[in-house]
Amino acid sequence: MNKKNKIALVTGASTGLGKSLSLKLALKGFKIVLASRNIEKLNSLKELISENGGDSQIIPTDVTKEKDVKKLYSSIEIDNVDVVVNNAGFGVFNKIQHTTIKDWDNQLNTNLRGSFLITKYISESMINRKKGKLVFINSIAGINAYPYSSAYVASKFGLRGFTSSLREELREHNIKVISVHPGAIDTPFWNNVNVDFPSSEMLKSDDVADVIVHAIISPNNLVQEEIVVRRTAGDF
């Protein structure tokens, strides 16, 4: 694949898997559009990419806000966007009676609405060009249900349904839709979550990113539609 002038947009790029993906895609020759709400961390990542010979652009973005997403696409060369990685995610884990309306809305908005908005405003350009790759970072919780996670699981099951429908809709336009379902990854996502398994035994961001990058740069005549990445030992 000729990656000259090709852009990869990564949401939730400032930490964790988004950071790993941004750096690895930059090393593959993509210009990276770094989208996140944390400008300070994006600046650090941009510097790291530059130190490794890559090119990137920072656009502060809240993916749940339509005006932010429209501004994002108006700020870049949209017809050069070859890859979009919907990575922004949010989770709160609690018993249903203790789950607040705010927690429910925040998870559905970030995990589902955000992916919808990011996809909606790039789809026409990709359809017109008859090419593009849409990557959605889902979760093993989009396949298997877990207790104390009703809002998070609902958002991830919804995201899986969204991507499955989208895949069939865009197939005739030669657009790849890749859904990734990792198990627990050792990222700041878990910093404020009370879990009974050690971070040292979680998946590593760089390892999961390697799997995703491989799928992104695979030959144009094939697509890895759903990718499940788990510990060899299984879930906790």
| 95-140 per-position pLDDT tens digit | 999 999 999 999 999 999 999 999 999 999 999 999 999 999 999 9
Q: Which CATH superfamily is domain 7-229 in?
A: NAD(P)-binding Rossmann-like Domain (3.40.50.720)
**Alpha-carbon gap, residue 150 to 58, rounded angstroms:** 34
Q: What is the pLDDT of residue 28?
A: 96
* Rounded Cα–Cα distance for residues 51 and 77 (Å): 24
- What would the DSSP string read from start to end of 17-43? HHHHHHHHHHHTTPEEEEEES-HHHHH
Q: Measure the CA–CA gap between 139 and 152, rounded to whole angstroms.
A: 10
- Overall average pLDDT of the 209-215 stretch: 98
pLDDT band at 40 (very low <50, low <70, confident <90, very high): very high
Query: If you average pLDDT over residues 179-195, what whole number do you get?
Result: 82
Q: Which of 73, 121, 148, 152 is catalytic?
A: 152
121 noted as active-site residue: no
179 within 8 A of 138, measured Cβ to Cβ: yes
Percent pLDDT > 70 in the chain is 95
Phi, psi values for residue 185, rounded to 5°: -110, 140
pLDDT bin (cut points 50, 70, 90) of residue 233 is confident
Q: What sign results for the dihedral spanned by CA atoms 67, 48, 209, 151?
A: negative
